[in-house]
Structure 1
């Protein structure tokens, strides 16, 4: 079994070593744990922390265990320190410690509001340590195989900060100069050594959903359900008849212990993401009544923007509850839900959203991860050449594995107010443009603007006057994106403004300065869930809007997909270098006469613009950077009641 920690010592051993000796063992153990070298920042942090720890640990019994850099099972999160011992009553106890060597810290909004989960620490935006500790303790309680053996206690030590620089309500915190007080606190919780069998169970622990998770789901179900709907679906829409039928069918399969795979296809707006979350919650809530095994249900995504936003919703209901949301593919081939050993861990139910983005290898592992597997997918939303979630691939692999495959289709349209009529219009525009016209009586606000400033002003009016949620999305053109901070200072991140990375002077003299969203953990949840999309200072690419929606969405139609000679053609610019081959590479191959590359690139672009044009619940506003494409779309928008501005 792979180790979960970088270093473990008894207090006697730990106190008997010099800090540099501990550092040497910790460095080597970290490399064995992660297959990576510790960064210079991590080395510096541990060098600063170790003398403080040895001072505080002086009061602890010799046989209490010190565990450094402990990795939560089936997670990439590592806890700085876990101390294993027993309480004064003789029960196994684990103290979870988050260390902070910060020298200055401020609330971002200059208040002591604990709802503010971000702080500015040593000039970097960081998560409030209280939330970190609560999440660690929650995940240990909810998903660690030794959870029933231990009581978990969370605390933090900000050893370079004077007292009360931050406010803590639910976690005990200690400060600069409080080594003795902290040591006494630890001694009060850890009065003696941990039993050998308990220590072994923790150190060799694995991911397992415990009965405490089911209790938390039951306790928080209503709030959690409401939060998930707010994040992923139209406010006020309960499950439809066809959705309820599918929920019941899957639930019965789980209850009966069948080995079956559901292949659920649905176009944009059919409620796939909403239904996936509802299916997860329902299974976790009820499965304890008819199943004895602990690994109940799990939901997998590839979209890191979507999963980080959804995790935020779950964490707000109960810290640690987001452990049931997993990446199905990490890109490293072994840590995702659809990677590595397909039988360990094994679940009653595994749900995969956006399964069209899977490779054949992902599909094969995913089908074996659970007794009942549910794939939600849409071939029309495949974004890159390497994605292989086609219907024929699911069928082929299920047949090879001798798994019963049941195909289902979500026929309803629930996101977009215009319903099937608007979706049909979008499909005609993209696949048969000569026949495109707005349907009569369409209950949907579709407009094409000649001035992007007017489109932005219209979105602002919607946000201010009707309290609508608005958002801006843009074609992956002109700027490739850059993760180096500060994000707003990089030319590669400016998408609308002047100058642009591509040299395109389209926005000269507009005064606009709009950037890509780049930070999946902070920017995207704040944008889609926290309301910052209404600021219209940032825009999402195709990878950052799939699975999300707003009341009104402004689409910047780029120079990648252009209307020429009465048909769609590859345009002059594409900066999307994601995938093998990437869309940018397909553009290059097509220009060199590769007809297959041209056909594939056009197919992927149609999928992308279908997604762009179906993010808006009540309306979609379009601005084109290519004039010929703009003329064509303005002509369509002027037909049968559409608006061209």
Structure 2
């Protein structure tokens, strides 16, 4: 917020708060529901100022229980102090709840009147205004009960996951840990940290979402957090179903200033993406994992160690357990053995680990590994990118489901270009005469193309090539994976080359670290498919070996 005005209401004498969003815009053009373009933001639409401030108000109401009990105390305004009112702004449509009032330079009298109706201007109210400000700063920030009730109602309308075997063990362990902490009281209870580890498709996210729904129904203070923008935005779009619930899905870096034990449970999904070694804060070492542990009575970390794909990601079982032990808390360690992605094929996950030398066992031909079993997972390799793309289309057409192509980050990722007045993606991924664009960049939307966060789930995603940042955490039926020159085979072993990588987040890592990260990257890309995968390497020698082992 640019400002929060704290005062006393002139009629009720209650505390009164006005959230203020200031805009230096000189013009504003409506281009869609809640979206505008300005002279300062011509490249892409931005939120309507009224919608922007309304969301800030909702955040305050939903995560500050004292305001949730009395929402009348909070109002919001957007003030375009350099602009002249334009009827096309449709200001009348925004004046519905007092949370998004809009004013311009030539409506200052209206603005003054609005503020005077909410904030007592009498000097005698100064002490009350100061008290209101102190109360705001001291307010406890945690999911408000009415938000949890809304979440419970929404989740009840959705089909729940059926948890099996170790998945149910993980669920019951979290519920049991919370019950034990509650029974002793927060001052006496020893914090319990649950660490759930498992491979791709072992049900980690299913556990997290089931726990989120169950705890919300019990009005427990619970939030879900990840380190992935794409994953979080997809959960907001597909699970929340209500924009108020979007804020129940957070990011790992949003808990540094939260009070200790302000949550009952924090569900850290994709916890292998927790970042950063500890920094010295106020004379002691403190890192992101410390913050996540401290904020909840029962922190839950769900992770896959083979999905660490960037430098600085430290979310391993060993690292988290070491920190928990140093803090003197109890660890509940649960390992998921099941496989519910990749057709439920444990053998495929084993085949990938052996092929990429992430396992001590040597690579094996796929048909030999599954001989005599009823494993139906489809593994293939193509002679060209054209053949790989055709394979995906054929499988989706004949056997149903959705398909996506991904590749190692070995090509530039260009900004969209303007062609005949329309923004278009650039065909950056070029192999011989074949070329395709990467999916849209997060900060540069393109008409008719899904955002990078929704590339894996939006039907329009086929035809674009996804990278690790678009694919990790998601699944689709048919996966096509293109190996670049960052990982090739020479003399029967993999050789990594950071110089071939265009990923600035990874290619500056030390050779040994880069080698581990790039192998993990391809493992993630190879294990996105529910029904099958087709591989291709632009390096001819590597592709020949891939075709041998994919038979």
Q: What TM-score does the superposition give when structure 1 sets the normalisation length?
A: 0.68
Query: Counterpart in 2 of 1:327?
Result: 251
Equivalent residues in 2 for 1:268-417 (5 A)? 268-288=200-220, 296-313=221-238, 316-319=241-244, 321-329=245-253, 336-337=254-255, 339=256, 344=260, 346-358=262-274, 359=276, 361=278, 362-417=288-343
Q: Give CA-to-partner distance per residue, 1:558-603, whole Å, 9 cap, x none.
A: 1111122222222585325555xx444434xxxxxxxxx3xx4433
Given the alignment of the two structures, is residue 533 of structure 1 paired with residue 471 of structure 2, yes or no? no
Distance 2:441 2:342 in 1: 27
2:366 and 2:379 in contact (8 A); partners too: no
What is aligned with 2:144? 210
Residue matched to 2:282: none
DSSP 3-state at the match of 2:194: strand
Q: CA deviation at 1:351?
A: 2.4
Indicate the larger mover: 366-375 or 515-524. 515-524
Instruction: Tell me whether 1:125 sits opposite 2:45 in the alignment.
Output: yes
Q: How many positions carry a matched residue from both structures?
A: 501
| Counterpart in the other structure of 2:194 | 262
Give the structure 2 partner of residue 142 of structure 1: 62
1:153 aligns with 2:85: no
Give the direction of change, closer, same or farther, for the CA distance of 1:454–1:366 in structure 2 (3 Å limit): same
Q: Distance in 1 between matches of 2:167 and 2:383?
A: 41
Whole-angstrom distance in 2 between the partners of 1:577 and 1:267: 25
Matched, 1:543 2:469: yes
Task: Provide the rounded CA distance (Å) in 2 between the counterparts of 1:464 and 1:163.
Answer: 50
Q: Deviations over 1:142-165 (max 9, x none)?
A: 112641455233454565462244
Q: Distance in 1 between matches of 2:418 and 2:210?
A: 35
From 363, 366, 380, the equivalent of 1:437 is 366
State the Cα RMSD in Å: 3.8
2:27 paired residue among 96, 103, 117 = 103
- Residues 551-630 of structure 1 mapped to structure 2, 5 A cutoff: 551-571=477-497, 573-575=499-501, 578=504, 582-587=506-511, 597=512, 600-630=513-543
The Cα offsets for residues 201-225 of structure 1, whole Å up to 9 and x where unpaired, read as: 12554523222222222332335x5
Displacement of 1:93 in angstroms is 3.9
How far off its partner does 1:455 sit?
Answer: 3.0
Tell me if structure 2 keeps the 8 A contact 1:308–1:521: no
Distance of aligned partners of 1:602 and 1:200 in 2 relative to their CA distance in 1, 3 Å threshold: closer
| Alignment-derived partner of residue 132 in structure 2 | 198
1:635 counterpart residue number: 548
**Structure 2, gaps ≥5 residues long:** 182-188, 279-287, 446-450
The answer as to whether partners of 2:49 and 2:102 remain within 8 angstroms in 1 is no
Query: Do the aligned partners of 1:261 and 1:405 also contact (CA within 8 Å) in 2?
Result: yes
Structure 2 counterparts to residues 238-257 of structure 1, below 5 A: 238-257=162-181
Change (3 A) 1:572 1:184: closer
With over 3 angstroms needed to count, the CA separation of the structure-2 counterparts of 1:174 and 1:601, relative to structure 1, is: closer
CA distance in 1, matches of 2:528, 2:162: 19
Offset from partner CA, 1:463-500 (integer Å, 9 cap, x none)? 67887433332102233x46x7769999x986413xxx
Deviations 1:95-129 (A, max 9, x none): 4454553624243xxxx6x4xx6544442321344
1:221 paired with 2:221, answer no
The aligned counterpart of 1:33 is none
The residue that corresponds to 2:2 in the other structure is: 69
Moved more, 250-259 or 157-166: 157-166
Residues 619, 155 of structure 1: alpha-carbon distance in 2 compared, 3 angstrom cutoff = farther
Moved more, 262-271 or 469-478: 469-478
CA distance in 2: counterparts of 1:449 and 1:403, whole angstroms: 51
Kindly provide the CA deviation profile for residues 154-181 of structure 1, in whole angstroms up to 9, marking residues without a partner as x. 4545654622445947665546655555
Deviation of residue 286 (structure 1)?
0.9
1:35 maps to none
With structure 2 as the length reference, what TM-score do the two structures score? 0.78
> Does the CA contact (< 8 Å) of 1:309 and 1:528 recur in 2?
no
Tell me, what secondary structure is at the counterpart of 1:515? coil
Aligned to 2:409: 476
Q: Structure 1 CA distance, aligned partners of 2:110 and 2:378?
A: 63
- Distance, in Å, in 2 between the alignment partners of 1:103 and 1:517 is 28
CA distance in 2, matches of 1:530, 1:545: 12
**Residue 420 (structure 1) aligned with residue 346 (structure 2):** yes
Asked if 1 retains the 8 angstrom alpha-carbon contact of 2:154 and 2:240, the reply is no
Q: Separation in 1 of the partners of 2:418 and 2:339?
A: 37
- The answer (yes or no) to whether the contact 1:422–1:442 under 8 Å persists in 2 is no
Q: Report if aligned partners of 1:473, 1:556 keep a CA contact under 8 Å in 2.
A: yes
State the SS of the aligned residue for 2:481. Answer: strand
Question: CA separation in 2, counterparts of 1:83 and 1:363?
Answer: 35
What's the CA shift string for 1:10-46, capped at 9, x where partnerless?
xxxxxxxxxxxxxxxxxxxxxxxxxxxxxxxxxxxxx
Equivalent residue number for residue 501 of structure 1: none
Work out the CA distance in 2 between the residues paired with 1:572 and 1:402. Answer: 40
1:336-381 CA distance string (max 9 Å, x none):
43x568x546432222223234445333443333221211122222
Q: Pick which of 609-618 and 241-250 moved more.
A: 241-250
- Any idea what SS the aligned residue of 1:435 has? coil
Given that 1:263 and 1:375 are in contact with CA atoms closer than 8 Å, whether structure 2 keeps it comes out as yes
Q: Which runs of 5 or more residues in structure 1 are unaligned?
A: 1-67, 71-80, 227-235, 289-295, 330-335, 498-505, 588-596, 640-645
